[in-house]
Structure 1
Amino acid sequence: MWVFAYGSLIWRPGFDHAGSQAALLQGFHRRFCLWSHHYRGTPEAPGLVLGLDRGGACRGVAFRVPGAAAAAVLRYLDDRELPDGAEVVYHRRVVPVRLVGQGSTVPAVTYVANRACRLYVRHLAPEQAAATIARGVGRMGPNRDYLLNTLAHLQAMGVRDAGLARIAALLPEA
């Protein structure tokens, strides 16, 4: 089984895997499109988290999970991305991703933004996103750290995400 990561899973997968490779997903792009009331914000001061939204393409990481561990990894990912009692902000999907180093395409599990969820953000100007991220703090820490860690790991892979870089440049000094 393969798992496609595009946000914090890149730098904090939380599961054992048998290797990882740069990967490309067509038909979706990475975007701060979901309000976060738990992980990166609160109901009073929401943060923003990344989702895969329709259109474009997304470079990320594909993790190879041995078959014997697949069921446990899926349970872990569902608990992380679809926690009990929380609003369903993501849909688990199997999507074709191209392994950049090999050129082959493999099916991979990933989590796509639920556009019908009330926490889905249709449009937010980069300035608004930066202001929200600057003040968001949740169970997993400051929203700013989530953005900057994701951006740093993408840059280390040679991936330039202009949207994330623009938001990061607009953050006020910490």
Structure 2
Amino acid sequence: MSSIDQSALTHTNEDGKASMVDVGDKDSTRREARAEAFITMKPETMALVAENGLKKGDVLAVARIAGIQAAKQCGNLIPLCHPLMLNFIGVEFEMPLEQSDGNSRIRIESCCRLSGKTGVEMEALTAASVAALTIYDMCKAVDKDMVISGVRVLEKSGGKSGLYLAEGVEA
């Protein structure tokens, strides 16, 4: 027996078929979500990113723009997501984060905000994920062993369900 409350799955209709949620009767509220992702790479690759030494250009600037563009396209990428008019999209990087195995990693954090009838968790997750994928794309010529991991929602607020904070995250 599953521990998931099936009634909480809103993307299915009464027949159990995939369905877009009707948000027409919901109140518009201020909604915000933050997400993170990590990309692990060799220290030499991290040095090239930090020194802007890769032939493709400024890795973090391109990854930031890619993340912003991805959040704006979330409704086109994920079939049952509503297209949203986002008020703000931010993508920031924390680096280098040294690991015990000798590798380095970049932490990517995204933030999406709007006033609307549905949340922005998927947009924040998409922004962080695509920023990580862009870093991989721009660095793969020198490091094919990079690993993207830890994609998760850190925080979401607004709407009927209120505030959610991931375990270990402070508001």
Query: Could you state the TM-score of these two structures normalised by the residue count of structure 2?
Result: 0.26
Structure possessing the higher radius of gyration over alpha carbons: 2
Query: Could you state the TM-score of these two structures normalised by the residue count of structure 1?
Result: 0.26
Bigger share in strand: 1
Higher relative contact order (CA 8 A, sep 6+): 2
